[in-house]
Amino acid sequence: MNNRSEATAFFRLWRTGLLVGIFALGAWAWAGGLLPTMLDLWDDITFLSRQHVTLVAISGGLAIAVGIPVGVALTRAPLRRYGDAFLQFLNIGATIPTLAVLALSMSLLGIGDRPAIFGLFIATLLPIVSNTLAGIRAVPPHLIEAAHGMGMSAGQILWQVELPNAMFVIYAGIRTALAVNVGTVPLAFLIGGGGLGELIFSGIALNEFAMMLAGAIPTALLAILVDFLMGQLQFWTIPRGVNPLR
Amino acid sequence: MIRLERVTKLFPGTPMPAVDQVSMEVPEGEICILLGPSGCGKTTTLKMVNRLIEPTSGDILIGDRNTADYDPVELRRTLGYVIQQIGLFPNKTIEDNICIVPDILGWDRNKSRARAAELLELVALDPGVFLKRYPKELSGGQQQRIGVLRAIAADPPVLLMDEPFGAIDPINRAVIQDEFLKMQANLKKTIMFVSHDIDEAVKMGDRIAIFRDGRLIQYDTPDSLLAHPADSFVSDFVGSDRTLKRLQLLKVSDAMMQDPPRVRADDTLKTAAALMEENGHSAVVMVGPRGRVRGFVSLKTAQENKGKVGEHSEALPTTIKLEENLRTAVSTMFRHDITWLACTNDDGFYKGYVTLRGITRLLAEAYRDE
């Protein structure tokens, strides 16, 4: 009880501070000419944001759709022994800078959305596969033994035991992956992929500070929003018994 | 019924079979304890019954059907299985955990959920409280009870238990063992139960199978196992106090002298003294009008005084019930510094007496022909 009222008091203080901070930032932005510029660029911002979100959704969605099944497949009997080798391969892959991945992707597929999506997909795939693999491997063996002993089929064990118990770790992988994804999309502009990177890089090239921020601020907000939504999804869709957040 | 016929398991790459030509039969409705040191093949034997491990050779029959004729997954659905780590699924509620096999078998949901509630009542856990909880919200003892309920949810005739109470603290273990025995008295499942604890085996088992290096050394009832160990390995394993362990297998009624002499309050001390002398006793129990134990008079008192028994009787320090085991009886004697106890039924009627000498003689009977 005491804890809760303390927490509430802290939350109020934090909210008030946040509002004051936002107001100060707004005043500064207006005085510095940022806000007027952003309003001028409003059409560009909305259009490019939509493009940005589309890139995230397609590349991220593909990565999830491919990454989880690949991770699961690497824990099944026929592929199990290759799991470690594959994980090593992924870890090496993860050390390649994303800009290099995009550049390689462009040299393969040319200029446009397709190489951008492909490059982002590759960059996003790695944490999803490795977390799926790690999550399923971390399911205690006695759960699997109990499941076998009760006569559950391999499919039932996967869907009712392994995946639900690995879900938290898989979600963590998806969150990391999408954070990387949203943050990497601006680079896609460099290979003709569009997105908010257009404002950022143009702003830098033209030495227009306000234009650069008009791209950077929405990118940052988008990253926060995506992470928040994933957090909510993680909180509400993972059963209470295996959800450390609840 | 579970029958093993020359069952052998040789794991690839090992020189010695883990289980070597084991033949045994667990009769319908009995608990058979597989007992032995670790690595003796008892768990392997258990797991071959539900084919978590496939036998290298030999046959295992359940009822009169060979387990090799089943699809292994189908087979396991007809056999209850409990493991030491319990293995409740943390992502499922208690209700859903109990209903795993009924759900797999496609039972009607209402029926299976009602069954889960009914089972919880059986182990004195309130369904209203526990059905919707998750395993992590239960204590170890409660989780193990759920583990057992989950195994019997679909009412399988056969139960396989792999050290089911091994991870529970001694006090809770005794409670759960008693609870389980009470349940088994109604359920009459055929049970194969792995243990490494001789005391648990003696307490729980109708029969005990002792394993060593993959061989079945002795398969017997607990009492004859303790009384007649087949070899030095078995006698070492059951312990040098094995005769004392037999005490808890025997009931007061086994060692009791029936239809004992008795006196009433209005009998004279002379009659009492005569009765004692005739039987060679040093005391006699005084009973009430309908036969309830009231007290006793000693031979000395009867000889040295005159009058009615009721005027000179003394209170008995304690009595013992017929269905208590001899371990309790002996312990009671030691506690009160006496060598005999009056035995009563549940209503307090005098049924007979046990003496320390009588118990000693009963235990020694088993060794007389050796």
CB-based contact B85 A142, cutoff 8 Å: yes
All residues of chain A having their beta carbon less than 8 Å from the beta carbon of residue B135 are: 241
Share of chain A above pLDDT 90, in %: 45
Q: B166 and B54: one domain?
A: yes
Whole-angstrom distance, CA of residue A197 vs CA of residue A185: 7
Least confident stretch, A84-88, A153-157, B34-38, B337-341? A84-88
Domain shared by B235 and B296, yes or no: no
Could you tell me the two tokens for B67? 């387990």
Residue B157 domain flag: yes
The confidence score (pLDDT) of residue A92 equals 86
Neighbours of A219 (CB within 10 A): 21
B284 and B165: one domain? no
C-alpha–C-alpha distance, residues A245 and A227, integer Å: 15
**Using DSSP, how many helices (H) and how many strands (E) does chain B show?**
18, 17
B300-350 pLDDT, tens digit per residue, is: 888 888 888 888 888 999 999 998 999 999 999 999 999 999 999 988 899
All residues of chain A having their beta carbon less than 8 Å from the beta carbon of residue B87 are 142-143, 145-147
pLDDT averaged over every residue in chain A = 88
Whether residue B324 is contained in a domain is answered as: yes
Range from A75-79, B123-127, B227-231 carrying the lowest mean pLDDT: A75-79
pLDDT(A32) > 50: yes
Tell me, what CATH number does B229's domain have?
3.40.50.300
Same domain, B38 and B170: yes
Query: Does the pLDDT of residue B370 top 60, yes or no?
Result: no
B219-246: string of b/e by CB count within 10 Å (b at 16+)? bbebeebbbebeeebbeebbeeebbebb
B214 plus B294 within the same structural domain: no
Within a domain: B370: no
Specify if B135 maps to a domain: yes
B77–A151 CB contact, under 8 Å: yes
- Min CA distance, B141 vs chain A (Å)? 18
- Three-state secondary structure along A73-133? HCCCCCCHHHHHHHHHHHHHHHCCCHHHHHHHHHHHHCCCHHHHHHHHHHHHHHHHHHHHH
Give the single-character DSSP code of B256.
P
A·B CB contacts under 8 A: 76
DSSP designation for A190: G
Chain B hits for A152, CB-CB cut-off 8 Å, are 73, 100, 104
Rg for chain A, CA atoms, rounded: 22
Q: Residue A189 in contact with residue A176, Cβ under 8 Å?
A: no
Question: Cβ(B3)–Cβ(B25) under 8 Å?
Answer: yes
Write down which residue in B232, B247, B262 finishes a domain: B247
Handedness of CA A234, A236, A242, A244 (dihedral sign): positive
Pair (B219, B338) in one structural domain: no
Pick B368 or B188 by higher pLDDT: B188
Inspect the interface and report whether the beta carbons of A140 and B134 lie closer than 8 Å.
Answer: no
Domain closes at, from B225, B247, B269 = B247
Taking only the tens place, the pLDDT of each residue in A111-158 is 888 888 998 998 889 899 999 999 999 999 999 999 999 999 999 999
DSSP conformational letter for B349: B
| Predicted pLDDT of residue A29 | 75
Alpha carbon B300 to chain centroid distance?
A: 43
Mutate to test the interface with B, among A144, A150, A170 (most CBs of B within 10 A): A150
> What span, in angstroms and rounded, lies between the C-alpha atoms of B46 and B159?
10
Do residue A241 and residue B93 have CB atoms under 8 angstroms apart? yes
pLDDT for residue A150: 94
| Total number of domains in chain B | 2
pLDDT tens track for A200-241: 999 999 988 888 888 998 999 999 999 999 999 999 989 888
Token pair 């006699």: residue: B284
The model's confidence at residue B12, banded by pLDDT at 50, 70 and 90, is very high
Question: Are residue B267 and residue B196 in the same domain, yes or no?
Answer: no
Interface contact A165-B83, CB threshold 8 A = no
Residue B321 belongs to a domain with what CATH number?
Answer: 3.10.580.10
Residue A14 in this model has a pLDDT that exceeds 80: yes
Quote the Cα angle for B176-B182-B183, to 5°.
90
Nearest to A241 among B77, B135, B160 (CB): B135
- The whole domain housing B86 covers 2-247
Distance CA B174, CA B180 (A): 10
In a domain, B310, yes or no: yes
CA distance B249 to B326: 8
Q: Is residue B232 part of a domain?
A: yes
Question: B91 vs A239: CB contact, 8 Å cut-off?
Answer: yes
Please check whether residues B147 and B86 belong to one and the same domain: yes
Whether residue B272 contacts residue B314, with contact meaning beta carbons closer than 8 Å, is answered with no
Cβ–Cβ contacts within 10 Å for residue A4, how many? 8
Same domain, B235 and B272: no
What whole-number percentage of chain A has pLDDT above 70? 98
- By CB atoms closer than 10 A (0-12, 13-18, 19+), residue A197 is buried
pLDDT at position A3 is 61
> What are phi and psi for residue B24, nearest 5 degrees?
-165, 165
pLDDT at A1 over 50: no
End position of a domain, from candidates B181, B213, B247: B247
**CA-nearest residue of chain B to A146?**
B87
Contact A142 B160 (CB under 8 A): no
pLDDT > 80? residue A6: no
Does the structure show a pLDDT above 70 at B109? yes
Whether B96 is in a domain gets the answer yes
pLDDT at A79 (0 to 100): 84
* Residue A123: predicted pLDDT: 85
Q: Are β-strands B257-258 and B215-220 bridged in parallel, bridged antiparallel, or unpaired?
A: unpaired
pLDDT at B245: 87
Provide mean pLDDT across the span B248-253. 89
Query: Is B258 found in the same domain as B115?
Result: no
* Torsion angles phi and psi, residue B316, rounded to 5: -80, 140
Gap between the terminal Cα atoms of chain B: 34
How far does the CA of residue A137 sit from the closest CA of chain B (Å)?
16
Angle between helices A42-73 and A163-188 (to 10 degrees): 140
Task: Report, as an integer, the average pLDDT of B40-53.
Answer: 95
- The tens digit of pLDDT for each residue in B138-167 reads 998 999 999 999 999 999 999 999 999 988
Residues B237, B358, single domain; the answer is no
Question: Would you put residue A242 in left (φ > 0), alpha (ψ -120 to 50) or beta?
Answer: alpha
- What pLDDT, on a 0 to 100 scale, did the predictor assign at position A2? 55
- Asked if the model's pLDDT at residue B250 lies above 80, the reply is yes
Same domain for B127 and B189, yes or no, is: yes
Mean pLDDT of chain B: 92
| B55 falls within a domain | yes
One-letter amino acid at B236 equals D
Instruction: List the single residue in B with minimal CA-CA distance to A145.
Output: B87
Q: How confident is the model at residue A49 (pLDDT cuts 50, 70, 90)?
A: very high
The DSSP code for B219 is E
Contacts 24+ apart (CB under 8 A), B308-313: B308/B265, B308/B266, B308/B267, B308/B268, B308/B269, B309/B263, B309/B264, B309/B265, B309/B266, B309/B267, B309/B268, B309/B269, B309/B271, B309/B272, B310/B264, B310/B265, B310/B266, B310/B286, B312/B269, B313/B265, B313/B286
Beta bridge partners of B319: B342
